[in-house]
A and B are shown apart, each in its own frame.
Chain A
Amino acid sequence: MTELPSGKPLTLFEKLWERHLVAPATTDHPAVVYIDLHLIHEVTSPQAFDELRSRGLAVHRPDRTFATMDHSIPTLFDGDEPLFADEKTRNQVETLQRNCDEFGITLYPMGDARQGIVHVIGPELGLTRPGRSIVCGDSHTSTHGAFGAWAFGIGTTEVGHVLATQCLLQRQPKILEVRIDGALARGVTAKDLILAVIREIGVDGGLGHVIEYTGSCIASLSMEERMTICNMSIEAGARAGLMAPDETTFSYLEGREFSPKGKAWDEAVADWRTLPSDPGARYDKTVAIDASKVEPMVTYGTNPGMSMAIEASIPDDAEEQSLAYMKMERGDALLGKPVDVVFIGSCTNGRLEDLRMAANILKGRKVAEGVRVLVVPGSQEVKRLAIAEGLDRVFRDAGAEWREPGCSMCLAMNGDGVAEGQLVVSTSNRNFEGRQGKGSRTILASPLTAAAAAVSGTIVDARKLMDQD
């Protein structure tokens, strides 16, 4: 147990905060905090590099900065030739390449074995580790908190601040404990759990807070499941989600490319063991969730808080404007609704375990007629592992499209869009109006529910299909 001289027990977050203080807050200014790892991508970085150039500044720590391409890249290639949606996305990708060359930043471009969605590759490469402070110009940077890292999204101006100084000005956030005990039932996934949490605390329930997820359920989850949960912290308004590092964390990281090796590994693990919140540490707020009561979840509205158990009906107090957009009504069941598109991928559910879940449903079955199914691995590494297990064959044989890694239909700026009015069951994280293409109507769900919809052509409880297997 780490204790200050006062003996005050500390939360995981307080320990992370203390470790990164370059200068504490004063009455005049916020704290200056150090950033251990800065991840960048093509969409939110170009203006920051321009700012550096206009001021004649260098990147302070290129060795702590890693870039990849994910948001606007195509997921279809003609041989080695990426099939860009348009000249603008091509220009954005080429601009990142030029900026990384000019400023000496390691870049994992399209086709590179390490390329992928920024929040998928950080952990895979062992860049994401307990105790680190991690930022990226992307709100789902909260994903990395699953490792006991303080990770949060920033805007482009702050991307510039970190490039130039490796620091940010920060006010200390409050801490919300979301304690999740109990075990998830069969057919209920981490995605269902986080949707249930967001519904419980609301899409603004985490404003001004970091969420620390605690409890026996969290401790029992794999790293990939933990990432799915921390990923969506931002959908509850919290910039960061956190989980205590433990043996599951250490065994995930051991041997990864950038993980410490040998003696340095032992020292790192010994240090990481001191990070979890001390007994008696105080949270600003606590919410308790019983995981055993969580059902497979689907959203019916236009933000991730508008969700319900798959067998429920749309509640009577559901917001009208959202329902009008979704072409749904209060009291409607979602079960049986015909779907047009299924998207399996994203930084929420585009990892190997997610693809395995979906493949288990699709194996030996066919995609329903008229349904378009896109399966997009979160990274080249996920793709490689999935192919090694034959998952790509399962998807292709079922009639799904197996694509190259990227964000793809999660935000649909690369050409992988949903047509106006179409209903899509998506394993991504945002069901905002038009998120997956202008006029697209999104139902967020787990990989199991998405795969079941692909097979049935309607919203269906995946547990029914699992019972037949």
Chain B
Amino acid sequence: MEPFKTFESKTVVLPVDNVDTDQIIPARFLTVTTRGGMGKNLFADWRLDPDFVLNQPTSAGALILVTGENFGCGSSREHAAWALVDYGFRAVVSTSIADIFKNNAVKNRLLPVEVDANTHRELVQSPGASVVIDLEKKTLSLPDGRAASFPFDGFAQHCLLNGIDQLDFLMQREDAIRAFEESSPAEPA
């Protein structure tokens, strides 16, 4: 896997709280058996509205989606992360991001960035602003040069920066897993 690098992009602002994964990718698009090509159905129903932010020419090419709190709540469908990545997003910025979505995002190299309320307000008020996200320093830099730091799981950060695959990491624990199974306090199957 390729190491994750610092990047700069303008933002797209979708100032809606509690955006659930049914909005990100409606269930009728879950009848697939592969993960590719989901971007065309990202926010499918909201995109029917010509005023929707992703339909604005100014949104083209943005890699960063700024959105309201509790983003990605609801269904565990990883298709939501696949759709965002396939569409071109590399980071989602909010004040809070739902747990399962956050986990799915990281696995797909989509950064879940949780910033403080002030930084968030600034981002919401300046759609299209150019922002730099530095995963190594865990900072998001605003156009005025101010850098807001964000929390990020240390292990996930390490994996992304060094191109480490989490399944490979688990596979290397095979001995510990077998030992656990042999001496397990866990119940039999």
Residues of A in contact with B (beta carbons under 8 Å apart): 19-20, 22-23, 27-30, 32, 34, 36-37, 43-44, 46-47, 50-51, 55, 60-61, 63-64, 71-72, 86, 88-89, 91-92, 95, 129, 131-133, 137-139, 153-158, 160-161, 164-169, 171, 203-204, 207-208, 234-235, 237, 239, 260, 268, 303, 321, 411-413, 430, 432-435, 438
Contact = CB atoms under 8 A, between A and B. Distances in A.
Nearest to A23: B176
A167 B176 CA distance: 11
Contact of A321 (B16, B20, B181, B186): B16
A62 to B, nearest CB: 10
B27 interface: yes
Contacts of A166: 177, 181
A397 B74 CA distance: 36
B81 A155 contact: yes
Contacts, number: 183
A58 to B, nearest CB: 12
B158 A28 contact: yes
Interface string B56-71: 0000000000000110
Interface residues of B, number: 52
B177 to A, nearest CB: 6
Contacts of A55: 167
B108 A157 contact: yes
B98 A207 contact: yes
Interface string B25-42: 011101111110000000
A128 B18 CA distance: 31
A46 B34 contact: yes
A169 B169 contact: yes
A167 B173 contact: yes
Interface in B45-87: 45, 69-70, 73-78, 81
B186 A133 contact: yes
B173 A155 contact: no
Contacts of B171: 164-165
Interface stretch (B3-11, B99-107, B124-132, B133-141): B99-107
Contact of A169 (B20, B23, B45, B170): B170
Given A47-B34, A133-B186, A164-B170, A204 B22 contact: no
Nearest to A25: B155
A129 B187 contact: yes
Contact of B103 (A133, A154, A303, A430): A154
Contact of B180 (A34, A46, A430): A34
Given A46-B33, A237-B98, A438-B26, 19 more contacts: A22-B180, A23-B176, A29-B169, A32-B177, A43-B77, A44-B78, A50-B33, A64-B189, A72-B31, A86-B31, A95-B33, A131-B186, A137-B78, A155-B77, A155-B78, A164-B167, A171-B153, A413-B30, A433-B22
